[in-house]
Amino acid sequence: MALVVIGGVAAGLSAAARARRLDPHLEIVVLEKGPVISYGACGLPYFVEGRVRKASQLIVYTPEYFHKERRIEVRTGTRVVSISHPRREVALESGGSVRYDRLVIATGARCDTSAFAGSGQPHVFTLHTLDDAECMRRFLDEKRPKRAVVVGAGYIGVEAADALRRNGLRVTVLERSPHALLRDEPWITAAVRKQLEEHGVELRCGVSVQAIEADRVADVPCDLVVVSAGFKPNVEIAAAAGVEAGRSGAIRTSERMETNLNGVYAAGDCAEVTHLVTGRPTYIPLGTTANKAGRVAGANAAGGRERFGGIVGTSIVGIFGMAFATTGLSVEQARREGFSPVAARIEAQARPRYFQGRKTTVELVADRATRRLIGGAVIGEEGAAGRINVIAGALQSRLRVDDFEQLDLAYSPPFATVWDPLLIAAQQLMKEL
Amino acid sequence: MALVVIGGVAAGLSAAARARRLDPHLEIVVLEKGPVISYGACGLPYFVEGRVRKASQLIVYTPEYFHKERRIEVRTGTRVVSISHPRREVALESGGSVRYDRLVIATGARCDTSAFAGSGQPHVFTLHTLDDAECMRRFLDEKRPKRAVVVGAGYIGVEAADALRRNGLRVTVLERSPHALLRDEPWITAAVRKQLEEHGVELRCGVSVQAIEADRVADVPCDLVVVSAGFKPNVEIAAAAGVEAGRSGAIRTSERMETNLNGVYAAGDCAEVTHLVTGRPTYIPLGTTANKAGRVAGANAAGGRERFGGIVGTSIVGIFGMAFATTGLSVEQARREGFSPVAARIEAQARPRYFQGRKTTVELVADRATRRLIGGAVIGEEGAAGRINVIAGALQSRLRVDDFEQLDLAYSPPFATVWDPLLIAAQQLMKEL
């Protein structure tokens, strides 16, 4: 039995490693188009910033490690150009081919810069691979740019803006939609703008970038451009082989992470997963999901029977020390999904003042009919990750706000207030329901 | 209609405030034996430490506030000596009496030092009221003691040890049981000991203190003694009036926080609540529970219909910057309660090393038969409160470890690792089940 995995980053390597654990005899080959594998893509902005000194610090495992310790063959610089499922074979750019019995597609996603004229210029970068980050860092060191434009105010966009600002550049972020962080709440965008502006970064929403000029983008002068827009799942090879995509354009999967083709699995930034709040397929490409879904794909490809229940869409991003964390559905998303959303938002001390506690903002969204929590957001300088995780757990457990309000949360002055902001938000929400 | 509340700290004032909100016409009287009300008792060690400069910083509301803003009459220095329920009347030490239609008993608990001969000496303190803390702080400033003994390694004991050590004293903590923090896990006691010793505090377990001498306790020389043992609910007045206690010795309550006497409620450190993991009454006196249960008692006393579901026993304490957080049942407790507990304990990075992330320890306990999570512990310097709260939420939601392992937790390098320590612990636990 041979397992072939296309893609050697989060989902692909999780799949390969898990398959090996379940079947010591399986032949496992990982085909990676890039020069390195197993890097923490979420750490790239911190390499650009300079906090991570060497790119190698972001690499978790080497091909040698997988070969020696896991008996997994990893071929870097190996691009798959097509899949022939009837022949159970993938064709390589180099001309060769590799046979498989089971296939895991973990081809990831890309930043599609083709929509922007002039994106091929040497001062224009994406921040998707380790190579991208190294090129941008080198450009910063050698060319000493003074002004940057970041196209796209998603997670990578604001992280890149933060990193560049810390390197002394003047930074403007241009976002096509009216909102930052891929969200639709005006209050979150306002909070992001406030935090960026307080640290000298300008955010302009509703700006549609058509072309990148040599010295400006949409009339903003600059000598460095980061494109963090046009994120697209890499599904072309899969699609050509008959693998079906969902409505999002990413590969449709079962809860076993299997595609419509028997024995062909998909996971990571190229695949859909189930949203546990709506019960419907969703495409929210994140490293956590890639690792978990990859693990399940690998287990099943090795003959196991595991399922990936799904996600609730939890994410967090740090902007100059402030955390912006969200999970579940926004009010608008909930309405579109057929819920009758009711929201409450409060601001409260995260810890007592005598422990230098700061204010934190919590929003909770519930469905009026069932009183179930269906979304939440936490913005603050401390404890935001823990608090969004409590909400995420509640969404996954289908908790009603009535039960959430009674959660027995930890209290001691160095860590929290006696009424945690989460509970204050829940009390407020119960008044609204 | 008149509501009388005995006790003006956490539970009592939560009850009074909530009752007022539900019934604007109710006559509400709070009787507090001490000189002040509404102080954050959990902040007392930080006042002793000196971090909280003025005792007034720990006072949240004054009697004047309650009078003016809530039309609640608060009488300080007013000790209730007996309750006559047939006459719906409480008798005061001063000789007067107060009529009630509904009564909330929030008499709290005390540190019973009578078990220790010599506890009346001027260098012996408890740390239960604001007055206690002010006396101890004054003693520190005026007498400049050099060596302290803390009797009892519960939360207040270790917090007092931390506070005194930071004031330059040599500190020894003597604990009668084999374990610290009222727990029964050797690994937690070992971690507490390590943390205390690294900061110059000695912990001796299994030491039964009989007497406090003028210059030593159990052969440990000292010129300051803190007694944080012998914690007992104040139930004598209630018991004399026919209010029944549970097996713990604290007042038995319904989920409406009503006692066996119709119209008489109890909440806070004098009352039992339901443990949601075992489904049985428990006595775990904490400020969070006092506030929540008091609120429910007040609502029902005012004619509302609210319930306090119960607790899962979540607590956290900081010792020299390290958090020790627990929730639910330990393996031993679980066994005694009739579960077949299985535990897994892991150590993992709480955040990436390039963000100065530290190791954190997570233990999860599940029941073998149902695979339900029934307990957990987190020890670490960062994120422990958030992580124990996620476990607490899971206990309250009766989550199986299989679902817990799939939680969609937030990840970004400044906040967590891609596999959160909680998920690594869950994976380990699934292997053991």
Give the model confidence (pLDDT) of A192-223 as tens digits. 999 999 999 999 999 999 999 999 999 999 99
The residues in A 342-361 lying below 8 A from B, measured between CB atoms, are 352-355
Instruction: Sort out which chain A residues have CB atoms less than 8 A from B388's CB and list them.
Output: 410
Contact A394/B390, CB-based, under 8 Å?
Answer: no
- Check whether A147 has a pLDDT greater than 90: yes
Tell me which chain B residue has its CA closest to the CA of residue A50.
B354
Q: What is the pLDDT of residue A53?
A: 92
CB contact under 8 A, A411 and B286: yes
pLDDT of residue B75: 97
Tokens for A184? 């639709």
Asked whether the beta carbons of residue A57 and residue B354 sit closer than 8 angstroms, the reply is yes
For residue A353, name the pLDDT band (cuts at 50, 70, 90): confident
Whether chain A has a CB inside 8 Å of the CB on B316: the answer is yes
- pLDDT over 90 at A294, yes or no: yes
Residue of A9, A53, A412 to mutate when probing chain B, most B C-beta within 10 A: A412
**Residue B113 per-residue DSSP state:** G
The answer, for A51 touching chain B at a CB cutoff of 8 Å, is yes
Query: Which of B163, B180, B179 is closest to B171 using CA atoms?
Result: B163
Instruction: Report how many Cβ contacts below 8 Å link chain A to chain B.
Output: 190
Q: What is the pLDDT of residues B299-312, one digit of tens each?
A: 999 999 999 999 99
Is B418 close to A314, i.e. CB distance below 8 A? Answer: no
- Whether the per-residue pLDDT at A385 is higher than 90: the answer is yes
A309 vs B392: CB contact, 8 Å cut-off?
Answer: no
> Averaged over A409-432, what is the pLDDT?
97
Q: Which residues of chain B neighbour A393 with C-beta distances below 8 Å? A: 390, 393-394, 397, 399, 407
Q: Which amino acid is at A188?
A: I
A411/B316 touch (CB, cutoff 8 Å), yes or no: yes
Predicted confidence (pLDDT) at residue A115 exceeds the cutoff of 90: no
How far is B26 from chain A, CA to nearest CA, in Å?
21
Whether A393 has a pLDDT exceeding 90, the answer reads yes
**Is A383 near chain B, with CB under 8 Å?**
yes
Its sign, for the CA torsion A29, A35, A37, A41, is negative
Question: Mean pLDDT score of chain A, rounded to an integer?
Answer: 96
Provide the pLDDT for residue A356.
Answer: 87
Cβ pair B376, A252 in contact under 8 A: no
Instruction: Kindly determine whether residue B51 and residue A309, on different chains, have CB atoms separated by under 8 Å.
Output: no
Judging contacts by C-beta atoms under 8 Å, the chain B residues touching residue A14 are: none
Pick the residue from chain B with its C-alpha nearest to A322.
Answer: B414
CB < 8 Å to B416, chain A: 316, 385
| B415/A313 CB distance under 8 A | no
Q: What is the pTM of this model?
A: 0.97
A411 reaches B (C-beta below 8 A): yes
Of B10, B292, B396, the CB nearest to A403: B396
Give CA torsion, residues B273, B277, B279, B283, to 10 deg.
-30
Looking at the complex, report in whole angstroms how far the Cα of residue B256 sits from the nearest Cα belonging to chain A: 13
Which chain B residues are closer than 8 Å to A276 by Cβ?
Answer: 408
Q: Shortest Cα distance from A319 to chain B (angstroms)?
A: 10
Nearest to A407 among B43, B313, B392 (CB): B392
Q: What is the 3-state secondary structure (H, E, C) of chain A?
A: CEEEEECCCHHHHHHHHHHHHHCCCCEEEEECCCCCCCECHHHHHHHHHCCCCCHHHHECCCHHHHHHHHCCEEECCCCEEEEECCCCEEEECCCCEEECCEEEECCCEEECHHHCECCCCCCEECCCCHHHHHHHHHHHHHHCCCEEEEECCCHHHHHHHHHHHHCCCEEEEEECCCCCCCCCCHHHHHHHHHHHHHCCEEEEECCCCCEECCCEECCEECCEEEECCCEEECCHHHHHCCCCECCCCCECCCCCCECCCCCEEECCCCECEEECCCCCEECCCCHHHHHHHHHHHHHHHCCCCCCCCCECCCEEEEECCEEEEEEECCHHHHHHCCCCEEEEEEEEECCCHHHCCCEEEEEEEEECCCCEEEEEEEEECCCHHHHHHHHHHHHHCCCEHHHHCCCCCCCCCCCCCCCCHHHHHHHHHHHHC
Residue A56: pLDDT band (50, 70, 90) is confident
DSSP secondary structure code for residue B243 in this structure: P
B30 Cβ contact list (under 8 Å, min separation 6): B4, B5, B7, B8, B12, B13, B16, B37, B66, B72, B73, B74, B75
CB pair distance less than 8 Å for A408 and B327: yes
- For A282, A386, B103, B257, B308, the CA distances from A391, given in Å and listed in that order, are 19, 9, 36, 27, 20
CB contact under 8 A, A51 and B312: no
Are B412 and A313 inside 8 Å of each other by CB? no
The answer to whether B369 contacts chain A (CB < 8 Å) is: no
- Report CB contact under 8 Å: A406, B396: yes
Residues above pLDDT 90, as percent of chain A: 94
State yes or no: is A42 an active-site residue: yes
Query: Can you tell me the distance from the alpha carbon of B53 to that of B47, in angstroms, rounded to the nearest whole number?
Result: 6
Task: Find the residue in A nearest to B415 (Cα).
Answer: A385
**How far does the CA of residue A119 sit from the closest CA of chain B (Å)?**
28
Q: What pLDDT does B77 receive?
A: 96
Q: Which two tokens stand for residue A368?
A: 């009026």
> How far is the C-alpha of B249 from the C-alpha of B233, rounded, in Å?
7
B394 touches chain A (CB under 8 A): yes
Question: Considering only CB atoms, which chain A residues are within 8 Å of B396?
Answer: 403, 406-408
The answer to whether A279 faces chain B, any CB pair under 8 Å, is no
Which residue out of A312, A319, A389 would a mutagenesis test of the B interface target, given it has the greatest number of B Cβ atoms within 10 Å? Answer: A389
Q: Does A330 touch chain B (CB under 8 A)?
A: no
Say yes or no for a CB contact (<8 Å) between B392 and A409.
Answer: yes
B411/A312 CB distance under 8 A: no
Q: Which of B9, B273, B317, B389 best probes binding to A when mutated, by most A CB atoms within 10 angstroms?
A: B389
Q: For residue A312, give the nearest of B353, B388, B408 by CB distance.
A: B408
Residue A294 touches chain B, beta carbons under 8 Å:
no
Does A281 touch chain B if contact means CB atoms closer than 8 Å?
no
Q: Which residues of chain B have pLDDT under 70?
A: none
Which of B383, B394, B412 lies at the smallest CB-CB distance from A42? B412
CB distance from A40 to chain B under 8 Å? yes
Percent of chain A with pLDDT over 70: 100
Cβ contact, residue pair A409, B314, below 8 Å: yes
Q: Pick B316's closest partner by Cβ from A314, A325, A412.
A: A412
Q: What is the ipTM of this complex?
A: 0.96
Report the distance separating Cα A24 and Cα A46, nearest Å: 37
Neighboring chain B residues of A412 at a CB cutoff of 8 Å: 42, 155, 315-318
Q: Which chain A residues are closer than 8 Å to B40 by Cβ? A: 352, 413, 418
Q: Which of B327, B412, B420 is the best mutation test for A, with the most CBs of A within 10 A?
A: B412
